[in-house]
Amino acid sequence: MSENAIEITDLDKTYKADGKKTAAKRALKSVSLNISRGSIFGLLGPNGAGKSTIINILAGLVVKSSGSVKIWDIDIDQDPRGVKAAIGIVPQELAFDVFFTPAQSLELMAGLYGVPKGQRRTMELLKMVGLEDKADAYTRSLSGGMKRRLMVAKAMVHNPPILVLDEPTAGVDVELRRQLWDNVRALNARGVTIVLTTHYLEEAEALCDEIAIINHGEVIAHAPTEDLLARIENKEIRFRLDRPMENAGQVLQGFAAEPVGQRSVIVRYNPSETQVGAMIEAIQRAGYGIVDISTDESDLEDVFLQLTGSSGN
Ligand code: ADP
Ligand code: MG
């Protein structure tokens, strides 16, 4: 048994040209990724990067051009049905059956997956996503967030070991985002491997053990979240001084220093190369008193900018 939940090797996808309307598009360029069992894995990248293409290949909705994919040790070419049993997918687009209640939707989905009546977990799943009191409501009366949670429950009817969520919180408000994060964490605590795509850096940072960053169909970074954060070159430190610093460039020679406001100076530095102590010494040597020091916690936005040279949104 592999320690990986998903193994993607040299995956390539070119969408064919659609008559005269759209040109052929190479959406994935030799993507290789291993996703550990038990992890919360984030696939991060701007719109159009190729995230949904990867997810839809895993889901069997898009046919790859070349490369191989194994899900829970099952090759998608050799045993597509076996793969479907191992994975639950929450697609990016909300699709819901307005004519059914949430309980009926789950029963139907379980039927599609061939789950015998006695083994269905409809109420347990509704409870898991906080919809137990909506079991018999009209689905069309549910809020957007409730519908999203119903989709998560639907993806879990066959109790797969892997749950994949494509942009689960795109366009949802902060409170709902936190609810979904709690759902995801609870599932992961029960042993479910989670793969999610997002273009929100904050989301990947808050939830994921491991992150791969994809841009223009290529994986440009893949590391534990903490390591990615540690890679950040630019940290900022702000010194508030007892009087205005006129010659910051000279005082802090060799540092990227910039005076701001009346009595502050900001220095951008790389923690792996520069010691804050050396800055403090230089300031004090020039006869300035330091009133206060503050730093700006770096986040994935910085990593993203460095790796792609473009904005995350
Ligand atoms: P993401 O989910 O990261 O936003 P997608 O995987 O949806 O990115 O898209 C990757 C690229 O492939 C984009 O340039 C997109 O326009 C293109 N693409 C996606 N789906 C299709 C399709 N069905 N036909 C043609 N091009 C597509
Ligand atoms: Mg997408």
pTM tops 0.95, yes or no? no
Q: Position 191: which residue type?
A: G
Cα(214) to centroid(ligand 1), Å: 13
Q: Are 156 and 144 in contact (CB under 8 A)?
A: no
CA distance 241 to 293: 9
The domains located in the chain, with CATH, are 4-229 (3.40.50.300), 235-297 (3.30.70.100)
pLDDT in tens for each of the 313 residues of the chain?
A: 889 999 999 999 999 988 878 889 999 999 999 999 999 999 998 889 999 999 999 999 999 999 999 999 999 999 999 999 999 999 888 776 778 999 999 999 999 999 999 999 999 999 988 899 999 998 888 888 888 889 999 999 999 999 999 998 877 778 888 888 998 999 999 999 999 999 888 888 889 999 999 999 999 889 998 888 776 656 789 999 999 988 888 899 888 898 888 899 999 887 777 788 999 999 999 999 999 999 876 566 666 767 766 544 4
Ligand 1 contact, 56 CB (< 6 A): no
Task: Name the residues around ion ligand 2, CB cutoff 5 A.
Answer: 51-52, 92
Ligand 1 contact, 49 CB (< 6 A): yes
CA distance 201 to 211: 10
Handedness of CA 42, 48, 50, 56 (dihedral sign): positive
Cα(63) to centroid(ligand 1), Å: 13
Quick one: tokens of 175?
């409170």
Long-range CB contacts for residues 60-67, cutoff 8 Å, separation at least 24: 60/84, 62/13, 64/11, 64/12, 64/13, 64/28, 65/12, 65/13, 65/14, 65/28, 66/10, 66/11, 66/12, 67/8, 67/9, 67/10, 67/11, 67/12, 67/30, 67/31
CA distance 271 to 66: 42
Query: What's phi and psi for 46, nearest 5 deg?
Result: -70, 170
